[in-house]
Structure 1
Amino acid sequence: MTRAALLLVDVQYDFLDQPTPGSLAVPGGHEILPHVHHLLDTGDWQLVVASQDFHPSNHISFASRHHREPFTKLVVPRPPSQEAHQQELWPDHCVQGTHGGEIERGVQQRLEAWQGPKLVVQKGTDEDLDAYSAFAIPLTAQDQQLSPLTRVLMEHNIDIVVVVGLATDYCIKASALAAIEEGRKRGWKVLIVQEAVKGIDTEQSQRALEELERKGARVVNMADVELNALAKKR
């Protein structure tokens, strides 16, 4: 029996462009929602994981912290080594305790109703450290070798990780690359559902998907035979 996990990456209001554009809205981001909801409704998942950008109000990635313009870059020390790192600067987004940081209502309702194993992974929680990947390890974690997400995938003996969410060229790419790398060691493969991801920049997103395929992921559509084999048996 295939043991599949659905990984929902950052399906949050600040990344959605409709009905009200979030502070870092992905163009067309709302278009993934019917597909994400469908996968939650129909998939026979052994585990459902939702990552959530969950930033403190003075996060290192916020242009406002540095009195700079959004969508520029700045060299900052990266903990814990304090090595110089080029940080992309964004509008304030997904701040803890704000509506923009909440998981989209349709996804949240389905998560609450889900009877099987599930987990919400909050990332970007360290004030001075950015984190695009759902596999990122917080500075406060006791285990600095194994991410909470890797651990739970191993505990449930997962052999396929299906990745959906936002944004293809940033957090999807980072999360999927980490899933591929961990999967080589732990024995799972990675599927990315094309209709259920959306990126900020079209060309950059296409290059990201091509890179993920080269690294070993399968980019599939909603009609894919392997994906549909994961549906609940009627």
Structure 2
Amino acid sequence: MELYIVRHGKTYWNNERKIQGWADIDLTEEGRRVACESAEGMKDIHFDAIYSSPLKRAYETACILKGNRELAVIVDERIKEIGFGALEGADFTKIRGEKTSKFTAFFDAPECYDAPEGGESIQAVCDRAEDFLKEIIEKHKDDERIMIVAHGAVNKAMMHYIRQNEIKDFWEGSLQRNCGVTIVACRNGGFDVIEDNKVFYEYKKKGWE
């Protein structure tokens, strides 16, 4: 089995550097354009199922990537983004460096991250991501290829299960670009990361990050 774990296209809050978790923010036109280019780049890859976060930035990306395939996009609550509670919509650039901010440890020391009011712990996200992956692997055949379209942190939570690393290494590997794809092979109960953060669009030429 192969898993294509995809991050959604760029949103308005990505552009504005706002913290974005459960807030349901639209893709920008650039985000849709990059998703369309990614769809073109993957048009000849066969997929047996497509799963998406319920948040519209991921769902719209999944629908674009689906292209002409006669597949339903299956929505699963377990792969929505981590919730940031009271910090949703805050300026990322302003609070990341504040020593008193609960967000500071999120990237720099995830093992010490203390979820803000109304938010989720990293462990909680890892638990639901693990539950989702176990079900997908049990449900689908060994020779199938599955696309999963979700978000930066929950995708890392899936990789946490795949890599069996510690929470302190939660961000191991590169940070997924918008519409970046991490390809993982599942064989004999084990995992092999084939490619991390592959892109199917010309981000270097066009300056899209």
TM-score exceeds 0.5: no
| TM-score when normalising by structure 2 | 0.41
**Which structure has the highest strand share of the two?**
1
User: Which of the two has greater helix per residue?
Assistant: 2
Give the alignment's TM-score, normalised by structure 1. 0.37
